[in-house]
Structure 1
């Protein structure tokens, strides 16, 4: 039996590899030591100011663990600083002067990324961002795990 390698997971990982790899290279070409995963956190800090890891997780929709790891990487590159919060467990994340100095170059990269994304969507013939957002909305209503469990239960009953 031949198995398809075109599963959602494989296709999404390949898409992310294409997109993130190109975007990361554009940052390097602009002389920035910056990763695409920094962007949601940096934008949240630009929009709403310093915040705890937990608050940033809520603002960005990224898990607490992933935000914590990303913030550590950003701090190592001087994009953010970390200060103690109200209790010993909380850390407040803020943009550094270095990050603010780099903002014009970042914004130029973001503008190029938005233009390239629009071109990609035109070539595809549909708004990729809307398709992905819709898929996430539908999965928020009925998670994939629930779909799998229901189908597994049906398969067991038919045997």
Structure 2
């Protein structure tokens, strides 16, 4: 009996598990209480300074909802604080001294992760970083949901009962 071919989603989730799991383990081995998902938010704050969730989402290319959820987790871990913005709905995210103290060690860890990524890319027939970038660009041009709907419609035609 043959096994089914893994779907794209399954393959991507497995890849993320392999990558994030080892990045997380490296943080722990380095004595850092840090989650990989915090990195884009921290990098955004290092670039922008104190910023709204909306501004960070636009800068780091992650949805407002995902940034908001990550900021909530980082707040619980005392890595960021929220201050009121110019209107009642806006919240400004700032780094805590705890997070600021971690930055040099995190930057060293990021350098190691980037170097490891380069070695992975060198082993592949096409660099993973390039393919992922191309996929993101293609999905920005035509979202996957549109593609699914078009294929579902095509499959429901008389030629495809």
Deviation of the 1:148 alpha carbon = 1.9
Aligned partner of 1:90 in structure 2 is: 90
1:45 aligns with 2:49: no
Aligned partner of 2:34 in structure 1 is: 34
1:40-95 deviations in Å (ceiling 9; x for gaps):
11001101111011111111121212111111111222221111111222110011
Deviation of the 1:101 alpha carbon = 1.3
Aligned partner of 2:131 in structure 1 is: 131
Q: Give me the whole-angstrom Cα distance separating, in 2, the residues matched to 1:115 and 1:79.
A: 26
Tell me, what secondary structure is at the counterpart of 2:83?
Answer: strand
Deviation of the 1:10 alpha carbon = 0.4
Q: What are the ranges of 5 or more consecutive residues in structure 1 without an aligned counterpart?
A: none
Deviation of the 1:3 alpha carbon = 5.9
Q: What are the ranges of 5 or more consecutive residues in structure 2 without an aligned counterpart?
A: none
1:66 aligns with 2:69: no
Tell me, what secondary structure is at the counterpart of 1:138?
Answer: helix
Q: Give me the whole-angstrom Cα distance separating, in 1, the residues matched to 2:13 and 2:21.
A: 11
Tell me, what secondary structure is at the counterpart of 1:93?
Answer: strand
Query: CA 1:13/1:53 → structure 2, altered by over 3 Å: closer, same or farther?
Result: same
| TM-score in terms of structure 1 length | 0.93
1:98-146 deviations in Å (ceiling 9; x for gaps):
2121111101110110111111111113211110010111111122222
Tell me, what secondary structure is at the counterpart of 2:94?
Answer: strand
CA RMSD after TM alignment: 1.5
Q: Give me the whole-angstrom Cα distance separating, in 2, the residues matched to 1:76 and 1:131.
A: 35
Tell me, what secondary structure is at the counterpart of 2:93?
Answer: strand
Summarize the alignment of residues 1-159 of structure 1 with structure 2, pairs less than 5 Å apart: 4-157=4-157, 158=159, 159=161
Aligned residues: 159
